[in-house]
Structure formats: structure tokens, C-alpha cells
Structure 1
Amino acid sequence: MPEDCPFCELAADRVLWSDDHVRVVADGFPVTPGHMLIITRRHVGSYFQTTDAERASIAAALDAAKGLAEQDFQPDGFNIGINDGPAAGQTVPHLHVHLMPRYAGDAEDPRGGVRWLFPQTARYW
């Protein structure tokens, strides 16, 4: 476990939900109200390095985080994202999954969702 990893040692009061493999926290730099992170307890950089048990916990945590967001923020939809590797924009080399609640009217035209990473290829309809 690297000393400088901000996700390896999280303050207990930041944790909204947890199990043996993952923790859910509010994102420190939220993109939308209710933006949460699902973070593996084990220091692993890539989703593709996770165990079956960790993947099952990530799925359970997404469900739990969705429930928390619905309870506290009443979103109209969600984006789920993983930046896996520096070329994909990962800045903290510890696996974390973003759950970003979305709200009607929060973007002028939300069609295409995550495809807008490259706007020139996003409009496929």
C-alpha cells in the first residue's frame, strides 16, 4: 500500500457504505450533486486486476450508492464511469468507480452521455 495514496487510508467519517472489499464515499470534487466514488479496499490500479469478490462488491456498492443518491438528491439518471489507466484519465492509481447522478436540464443535450469525451464522435444518431 503506497504511503501517498489518498484512497488507501480514508477517514471513517467519509465512508457512506462499506463491505469487506469496497467503500463508498462522497467525491471530494463532485461533478454533480451526490457524486460518489466506490473505492476498493485493496490497493489495485485497474478494474481488470480485481478479484471476482471485489467485482461483486463493486456491483453491490453501486446499488447502495444509487439508493443513497435517490434518497438524498432525487436524480433523474446516472452515469457510471471508471478511468482505467493514465491514457484514460486516471489520476489516482487506485481503482475507483464514479457514480454521478444526473438531473433533467443539467446539460443542454445529454444524449450520448459518456460518448461526449470525444465530441467529434459522440453524435451517432
Structure 2
Amino acid sequence: MDHCLFCYYDQFPGQKVVFENKYVLFLQKPQEVLIGSGLIIPRAHRETVFDLTQEEWNATYVMLQQVKTYLDDENSPDGYNVGWNCKEVGGQSIPHAHLHVIPRYKDEPYAGKGLRYWLKSSENKRG
């Protein structure tokens, strides 16, 4: 894809490849709010998680375990949010599959409020 931001991840200022394997990368960009967070992305352009190959799924699993060990050692988080957004309505803003890995800390204002909290909000009820 000529215009995909994750196909050209090296053009993001400040972003670095922390880990990589044959199929996926773990990228981090300095964050002021989501300290330690990053993305696992496939090297090949895949629009959503549903488009990953079996090899990419397996490589993502291996990478996720490596990333957790690294983040535990570097940041000592108290929990994690890990997830995929798919398509615009699902919150995906870049059409290249990416797994969010977000360390969470008990002293955060939103500690204890994960994905389920937002989904069950009465303000989100369909008309």
C-alpha cells in the first residue's frame, strides 16, 4: 500500500522498533499518558486482524509474550489492556492491523475501567 502509515512505520518521528521477527514488529513511540504502550503490527499489509495468516497469528502470540516480559521488567504495570480495533466503526483509524498493548497502573484515574466499562455504558445504547 503506497499510503499506509504502518507499511512505512519508519517514517513516524520518534517511533522505534523494539522487537521484530519474520512476520511482525513491536513499535513504541514516547507517550506522556499511556507510558509503555505500543503496537504489534504485521510486516505485510493486512487491513484487520481477520486478515492475518496463521503464521502471523503465531508470530503475534510469540511477540506478545516477549513484549509482556519486557514491559513487566521496564514498567512494572499492574494490569494490561490488549486489543484490536477493526474498521472505522470499531475504532480503527489506520487500515493496517495493529494489536494495542497498553500497560495499566493502579494510580491512574481510569484504573479498573477496561474495555467492558465503555461498552456497557448506557450512553452507548443503540436507539
TM-score for both structures, normalised by structure 1? 0.85
Superposed displacement of residue 32, structure 1: 1.6
Unaligned runs of 5+ in 1: none
Q: Structure 2: where are the runs of 5+ without partners? A: none
Distance 2:87 2:21 in 1: 25
SS of the counterpart of 2:9?
coil
Aligned-pair identity (%): 28
Tell me the distance in 2 between the aligned counterparts of 1:30 and 1:44: 29
Aligned to 2:62, the other structure's residue is in SS state: helix
Structure-2 change in CA distance of 1:108 and 1:46 (3 Å): closer
Indicate the larger mover: 25-34 or 98-107: 25-34
Structure-2 residue corresponding to 1:6: 5
Is the CA contact 2:23–2:55 (under 8 Å) kept in the aligned structure 1?
Answer: yes
Provide the rounded CA distance (Å) in 1 between the counterparts of 2:40 and 2:32: 13
> 3-state SS of the aligned residue for 2:18?
strand
Alignment equivalent of 1:48, drawn from 42, 50, 57: 50
Task: Note closer, same or farther for the CA distance 1:71–1:109 as it changes in structure 2 (3 Å cut).
Answer: closer
Secondary structure of 2:85's match? coil
The number of residues matched between the two structures is 120
- Map Cα deviations across residues 49-92 of structure 1 (whole Å, 9 max, x no partner): 11111001111111111111111111011110100111101000
**The residue matched to 1:25 in structure 2 has which SS?**
strand
Alignment of 1:1-125 (within 5 A): 2-11=1-10, 14-27=16-29, 31-108=33-110, 110-111=112-113, 113-118=114-119, 119-120=121-122
What is the deviation of 1:116? 2.3
Q: Taking structure 2 as the reference length, what is the TM-score of the superposition?
A: 0.83
Q: C-alpha separation between the residues in 2 aligned to 1:32 and 1:78? A: 11
Q: CA deviation at 1:31?
A: 4.9
Q: Secondary structure at the match of 1:17?
A: strand
